[in-house]
Structure 1
Amino acid sequence: MSPDGRRIAAQEPWDRKLLGESETAGTTVWDTATGEILARFDDGMYDAVAWHPHDELLATATTSVVHISRPDGEVLWTLSGHRASTRWRSFDIKDLALHPDGHQLASLSTDGTVRLWFLDGGTCTPSPVLRVRSGRPSSLAYTEDGSRIAVAVDGAGPQLWDPSSGERAETFDDCGREAMGIALDGQGRFVLGIGEEGRLQVVGQDGTCSPGTSTRITVPEFIATAPDGRIAVSGGKSRSLELWDADLTESSYIDLPEFIPDIGAPGELGRTAWGPDGTLYAVARWWGVIAWDGQGWRPFELP
């Protein structure tokens, strides 16, 4: 979601292009008001996407490469350094995050690293590499003041890192080790998606974890928090979405329609994002971007 809420970007893999159903594979940008496509990049990017909080820049990633582009598709920088897949092992850049002041980009890969990049004065330069060990990093988020990066590590639990020095700050010993997703909740806390039995946990400002709340999303890898504190949870190839209040005390379960004439079946849900007005946007595999207004789903134009 762009900072002003007027545009949203998502990525489609090669499937539809190989099937002849799309002319491009990669990043697409939509107008959130009309659902119309504003730009399509045949860039092959399909792993992660993030908007710059202040400038007209879009960060996109695939396997081991990150692009920093303008919203019209002009690539300003190509960032490499993450390990590329081999015949015996595959790696992917799973998540991207930008520092709240926009001067640093973090890219997280299943190669066990979080690479940091400084964006300043029209330049982009590498900075410390966070070497996450004993697990598979899956998601990350900056704290509100940007002084820490929280990393969800599947197999090792969540960790806090100092983005200036690249040093490990602390671990959260009371949190589940199968940490899949993580998001800042707007109150200085983190919401964690734990793969063990499908749970959500809140990490307080003092670093303590709540006991956890069960979620019907068995692989809660995508977590998004709304301006009013509501929490959207998806993942694990589920065709449903779970919405929680800010205190994780009440939830509702939202299914996608099974089939819409001329559009077909939606496929599983992916990442979600909230607009400033409280509209929830989600990526459905075969529908592209869809919007939930509290009453029903609105499909956007397909690439």
Structure 2
Amino acid sequence: MAHDVFISYSKSDKPTADAVCAYLEAHQIRCWIAPRDILPSADWGESIIDALAAAQAMVLVFSAGANSSVQVKREVERAVHLGIPIIPLRIEDVAPTKSLEFFLSMPHWLDAFTEPMERHLQYLVEVLQRVLTGPDGKPRKSTSVPYEATLVTPPEPPAPITPPPIAAPPIADAPTVAPPTAPPPPPRSASPPAFDPQPPVSAPKPKLLERREMLGVLAGIGVMAIGGSYFLLAGKGGSGGSAVVHMPPPPRTLTGHVGSVNAVAFSPDGKSLASGGADKIIRIWDLVTGTVTKSVMGHKDTVQCLAYAAALNRLGSASNDRTVRLWNLADYSITNTLFGHMDNVNFLAFNPSNSQVASCSTDGTVKFWDTSSGSLQNSITVDTKQLVTSVAYSPDGSKLASSCGNGDANIWDVATQAKLLSATTGNSAVQTVAFSPNGGQFASAGNDKNITLWDSATGNKLMTLSGHTEIVETVIFAADGRTLFSGSDDKTIKIWDVASGKALFTLTGHTSAIYCLALSPDGKTLASASTDQTVKLWDLS
């Protein structure tokens, strides 16, 4: 991929590096970062070399971990050889080892180990904007001059913040023109051990956890608050036991898919996650290690949807190969393949008892299947000319909601297949529907960029949630029904207060459309799937 900046970091600093990457990309600075931008079939070393050769600058996330990383040293040495400007972003108050100091003996560092983090990240953006443009403000052409490391003269660094006075000028008012004064060099310890590859065991890491949490908040890969610094997420009981969920830290990113990731689903025990997409492979992830424990193959085309059936010990998948498959969780063997749709199967949902699975298709139908035998029970023709995009059972299993390309969201009686009501917002396609946990309302969203809340009994419109700037692809309710999550082609996830209709948070970090969201059984983790080929895990606890 085309990029401006190569991000170098040690393994221990990956969450911080991911957050820095997301912040820079949110400010139109294209980044290359491993492993995200290394294809599964590509040679790791060659990919690093090629990426450095194509970069116009390197951002080094500098810490004690970077000090002792052989890989970081190699990347820095290569950047110096290529004449690439190196901007060290110090996230810990440590000095470089002598081997790194040899390459980084430049006077200008960006210190980012004090709060608030946003000031340092904005400063980094300003520095990179200067590096990536020439004196005339035009984009600088990539150069490759051996053994001429470029010294970066940044604008004035942000002034340290002390508790009083509170009325410090906002970030937006900070000058962007560099005064003649250069920033001071990084503080160095008077004692020789500061230059050792590893700091003394007794030396604590300076607020690393807090800094990473703040980095996620301010970098955008975490969240941006609207009207407050936290939101309330009640327990599953709906009363009492409410937990204050502060701004999430930077998400974990799962990479491995080749092509769009269209579907994610948490296992019933919350210990693993299934994902599927354009590469036709269903991947099962261990959520502790972030590694793939199983690659499930069988579909012959894009996997569009995944859902677990806890009572059956099954995983269901829907695909563009016109089938629904049910997989045994013991060994992920196929127990049933459901044939009957004449076009792409876009979505599936299990009823609460797991005795039935509903699927919908581009062929304009919704089909009901027996999960034990795999036999077709009933079929509804929703529209002969438009695709059906999603389905959702009501909490008691008596009703099914469907969304359609004709602009309708319909509610059906599962027993009789009779249409109970039809809700429409116009001619714009509806991409997704979801029932609230108590079944009293349902949400629909789609091409009009809005989310609409409806009364499930009458079909009356209750509220419109506006804020996304592109198609809304997916919506889900939290277990308490007070919070709604939405994912959009505008690359953002929004968290809404259902009572007021206000957006509480906007999560950014994906670099392309978000197709699917899923909540863990305990409600503490949100998973998002995107056409940027990644799955992100957001900590809501």
Query: TM-score, structure 1 length as denominator?
Result: 0.80
CA contact (8 A) 2:346 2:362 kept: yes
Asked if 1:132 is matched to 2:386, the reply is no
Residues 144-189 of structure 1: CA deviation (Å, up to 9, x unaligned): 111110111122411111222222222236x445322111221312
Amino acid at match of 1:240: T
2:538 aligned with 1:292? yes
Matches of 1:292 and 1:139 in 2, distance apart? 24
Among candidates 55, 61, 67, match of residue 325 of structure 2: 67
Alignment partner of 2:437 out of 173, 186, 209: 186
Give yes or no for the alignment of 1:268 onto 2:522.
Answer: no
- Per-residue deviation at 1:97? 0.4
Change (3 A) 1:159 1:128: same
Question: Which of 243, 267, 277 is the equivalent residue of 2:495?
Answer: 243
Aligned counterparts of 1:131 and 1:170: Cα–Cα separation in 2: 15
Aligned CA distance change for structure 1 residues 280 and 209 (closer, same or farther; 3 Å):
same
- 1:42 aligned partner: 297
> What residue in structure 2 maps to residue 87 of structure 1?
none
Contact 1:62 1:92 in 2 (8 A): yes
Partner of 2:523: 277
Q: Secondary structure of the residue that 2:371 maps to in structure 1?
A: strand
Q: 1:119 aligns with which of 358, 368, 371?
A: 371
| Deviation of 1:51 (Å) | 0.8
Checking the alignment, whether the CA contact within 8 Å between 1:59 and 1:68 is kept in structure 2 is yes
Distance in 2, matches of 1:228 and 1:217, equals 27
2-structure distance, mates of 1:228, 1:2: 20
1:190-229 matches, within 5 Å, as 190-196=442-448, 198-207=449-458, 208-229=460-481
Distance (whole Å) between structure 1 residues aligned to residue 272 and residue 386 of structure 2:
35
1:26 is displaced (CA, Å) by 1.4
Return the offset for 1:8: 1.5
- Within 5 A, what are the aligned runs for 1:134-149? 135-149=386-400
**Residue type at the aligned position of 2:513:** E
Partner amino acid, structure 2, of 1:49: L
Matching of residue 52 in structure 1 with residue 309 in structure 2: yes
Q: Which has the larger radius of gyration?
A: 2
Q: Distance in 2 between matches of 1:132 and 1:240?
A: 31
Alpha-carbon distance in 1 for matches of 2:478, 2:293: 25
Per-residue CA deviation, residues 37-80 of structure 1 (Å, 9 max, x unaligned), is 22111223511111114221011121211111113320011111
Residues 218, 286 of structure 1: alpha-carbon distance in 2 compared, 3 angstrom cutoff: closer
Aligned to 1:168: 419
Q: Is the 8 A contact 1:226 1:278 kept in 2?
A: no
AA of the residue aligned to 1:231: L
Percent identity between matched residues is: 22
Provide closer, same or farther for how the CA distance between residues 166 and 130 of structure 1 changes in structure 2, counting only shifts above 3 A: same
Q: 1:17 is matched with which residue?
A: none
Paired with 2:334 and 2:447, the residues of 1 have a C-alpha distance of 36
CA distance in 2, matches of 1:213, 1:239: 17
Q: How do residues 93-112 of structure 1 correspond to structure 2 at under 5 angstroms?
A: 93-112=345-364
Q: Determine if contact 2:519/2:526 at 8 Å carries over to the other structure.
A: yes
Q: What SS does the aligned partner of 2:414 have? A: coil
- CA offset at residue 108 of structure 1? 0.5
- The CA deviation at 1:244 is 1.1
Amino acid corresponding to residue 488 of structure 2 in structure 1: G
Q: Which residue of 1 aligns with 2:25?
A: none
Q: 1:2 to 1:246 in 2, by over 3 A?
A: farther
SS in 1 for 2:536: strand
Deviation by residue 1:206-250 (Cα, 9 ceiling, x = unmatched): 3311241213152112112222332221133x3221111232223
Instruction: Describe the SS at the equivalent of 1:212.
Output: strand
Q: Are positions 1:2 and 2:267 aligned together? A: yes
CA distance in 1, matches of 2:389, 2:488: 12
The one-letter code sitting in structure 1 at the alignment partner of 2:316 is: A
Residues 194 and 201, structure 1, Cα contact 8 Å, conserved in 2: no
Distance in 1, matches of 2:438 and 2:413, equals: 20
Q: Does 1:159 align with 2:410?
A: yes
Cα distance change of structure 1 residues 12 and 80 upon mapping to structure 2, 3 Å threshold: same
Find the counterpart in structure 1 of residue 506 from structure 2: 253
The verdict on how the C-alpha distance between 1:185 and 1:35 changes in structure 2, with shifts beyond 3 A counting, is farther
Distance 2:386 2:532 in 1: 31
- Paired residue secondary structure (1:221): strand
- 2:335 alignment partner in structure 1: 76
Matched-pair contact (CA < 8 Å) for 1:200–1:215: no
- Aligned match of 1:32: 287
SS at match of 2:395: coil
Which is strand-richer, 1 or 2?
1
Q: Which letter does structure 2 place at the counterpart of 1:7?
A: S
Cα-to-partner distance string for 1:121-149 (whole Å, 9 max, x where unaligned)? xx221111011016431111001111110
Structure with more of its chain in helix, by fraction: 2
TM-superposition CA deviations, 1:252-300 (whole Å, max 9, x none): 211106xxxxxxxx543221101123211111334532201149xxxxx
SS in 2 for 1:145: coil
8 Å CA contact 1:128–1:165 kept in 2: the answer is no
Equivalent residues, number = 265
Distance 1:114 1:211, change over 3 A: same
Matching residue's letter, 2:351:
H
